[in-house]
Amino acid sequence: MELYVQKFGGSSMRDAERVRNVAKIVTKTWDQNKNVVVVVSAQGDTTDDLIAKANELNPKASKREMDVLLSTGEQISISLLAMTIEGMGYPVKSFTGWQAGFLTDSTHSNARIRNINKQRIENELQKRTIVIVAGFQGVNRYDDITTLGRGGSDTSAVALAAVLHADRCQIYTDVDGVYTADPRIVKNAVKLGAISYDEMLELASLGAQVLHNRSVEMAKRYNVDLEVLSSLEKKPGTIIKEDASVEKMIIRGVAKDANVARISLVEVPDQPGIAFKVFSILASKKINVDIILQSIGRDGTKDITFTVAKDHLEETVEVLNANRDKIGHKEVLTDDQVAKVSIVGAGMESNPGVASKMFEALYSANINIQMISTSEIKVSVLIDINDAKRAVVAIHDAFYNN
């Protein structure tokens, strides 16, 4: 029997009407003679409400206790969805992260899945039970509750699909697929029928905001067929799988990421190993660094500039200043009024001139480029945040309108 894993995010579970809609999608899949495992996030604003409650009592609460608090959001969702499906007369059971066997490391608020003890879920599936699992959460080896951080429920869904050898992992969201650019910004953006893991990875990590890159990485590693589709409109979404490069577009899409901040370490000693020192310190604090630019040394010093997610900015600066003795920088400059705009496409490799076409589009739109980063299938530029939307439109026009 085919097995589908279906994931529904917070907006798909927002209120009673939406929960009933999710129940319909799930039971319809079950009616098509498929087994179904459902992964859900916390309802709409629940997480924000819980964070507000915490901030009122202790804005610097430990991550352990925040995880205890926030994990209740998905627990509420699973029980409400299970009840709704019960009311429709289907066999169903809900499971929290620990009940579903999600064992993680101990990095509270940003834990990694170590293992899924799938026995209980498999037992229920053999009885044709619809299994509802709380996304975003697990337990460490001491039975402390952990959460998986941003994109956590997507990751939960893909991990379950991998260990259960599901035939497909469907990620239901409020958009109906992956587009060549954000349709809210670019009117003539085109929905992609299929896209490869690598292309989606670049798009996801670049702020296309459809899927978090952790989940796509995991899907690629375990070869899970993903589908991104709308929970509100009944039409096919975008399939993400290994050999999806059937369409002959040079670039797959233009993405904008505003969750980025630039940090400059000014006048660090121009010695071998200094970059290693900086980035290993940040890695030990689990801070991901993106674009890196190092100036040519001069007077025995050089500058190192890099970008991090905007919500890591404060912590990064704290870490750098706490390690000033080791690094030896004169000062730390920051700018959070920047955005990253990128083009992605596996066709790029065999098409020289893609990057220069992008730069030309930006030049014509009078947009200044602060930093550049390239990979085999991606070109990213860092620009002023106020230019970001114009940049996306200009680049999309350059590639798709001629």
- Report d(CA 208, CA 293) in Å as an integer: 24
Asked if 83 touches its own copies (CB under 8 A), the answer is yes
Are 69 and 49 spatial neighbours (Cβ–Cβ below 8 Å)?
no
Asked if 357 touches its own copies (CB under 8 A), the answer is no
Choosing from 2, 45, 48, 58, the residue that interacts with its own copies (CB under 8 A) is 58
Asked if 246 touches its own copies (CB under 8 A), the answer is no
Stretch binding its own copies (CB under 8 A), from 5-13, 60-68, 243-251, 281-289: 60-68
Nearest to 353 by CA among 269, 250, 215: 250
Residue 364 burial by Cβ neighbours in a 10 Å radius (0-12, 13-18, 19+): exposed
Between 144 and 217, CB nearer to its own copies? 144
In this structure, the number of other CB atoms found within 10 A of the CB of residue 288 comes to 11
Size of the site for its own copies (CB under 8 A): 38
Asked if 51 touches its own copies (CB under 8 A), the answer is no
Asked if 371 touches its own copies (CB under 8 A), the answer is no
- Amino acid letter, residue 175: V
Pairing of strands 226-230, 168-173: parallel
Angle at CA 200, nearest 5°, toward 202 and 204? 60
DSSP string, 131-167: EEEETTEEE-TT--EEE--TTHHHHHHHHHHHHTT-S
For the CB of residue 137, give the shortest distance to its own copies in the complex, in Å.
Answer: 12
For the CB of residue 229, give the shortest distance to its own copies in the complex, in Å.
Answer: 24
For the CB of residue 21, give the shortest distance to its own copies in the complex, in Å.
Answer: 12
For the CB of residue 284, give the shortest distance to its own copies in the complex, in Å.
Answer: 24
Asked if 84 touches its own copies (CB under 8 A), the answer is yes
- Report d(CA 254, CA 275) in Å as an integer: 30
Stretch binding its own copies (CB under 8 A), from 71-79, 173-181, 184-192, 200-208: 71-79
Asked if 69 touches its own copies (CB under 8 A), the answer is yes
- Report d(CA 129, CA 256) in Å as an integer: 41
Between 7 and 108, CB nearer to its own copies? 108
Paired tokens of 21: 């809609």
What residues from 190 to 209 belong to the interface with its own copies (CB under 8 A)?
none
Asked if 105 touches its own copies (CB under 8 A), the answer is no
Are 247 and 192 spatial neighbours (Cβ–Cβ below 8 Å)?
yes
User: What Å distances lie between residue 284 and 239, 289, 306, CA to CA?
Assistant: 35, 12, 17
Between 17 and 376, CB nearer to its own copies? 17
Secondary element (H or E) of residue 391: helix 388-400
Asked if 99 touches its own copies (CB under 8 A), the answer is yes
For the CB of residue 145, give the shortest distance to its own copies in the complex, in Å.
Answer: 8
- Report d(CA 338, CA 307) in Å as an integer: 10
Asked if 93 touches its own copies (CB under 8 A), the answer is yes
Choosing from 35, 94, 156, 180, the residue that interacts with its own copies (CB under 8 A) is 94
Asked if 76 touches its own copies (CB under 8 A), the answer is yes
What residues from 5 to 24 belong to the interface with its own copies (CB under 8 A)?
16, 19-20
Between 145 and 251, CB nearer to its own copies? 145
Pairing of strands 35-40, 3-8: parallel
Paired tokens of 313: 């900015």
Asked if 144 touches its own copies (CB under 8 A), the answer is yes
Instruction: Draw the binding track, 320-339, toward its own copies (x: CB under 8 A; -: no contact).
Output: --------------------
Report the interface residues with its own copies, using CB under 8 A: 16, 19-20, 50, 53-54, 56-58, 60-62, 64-66, 68-69, 71-72, 75-76, 78-80, 82-84, 86-87, 93-94, 96, 98-99, 120, 143-145
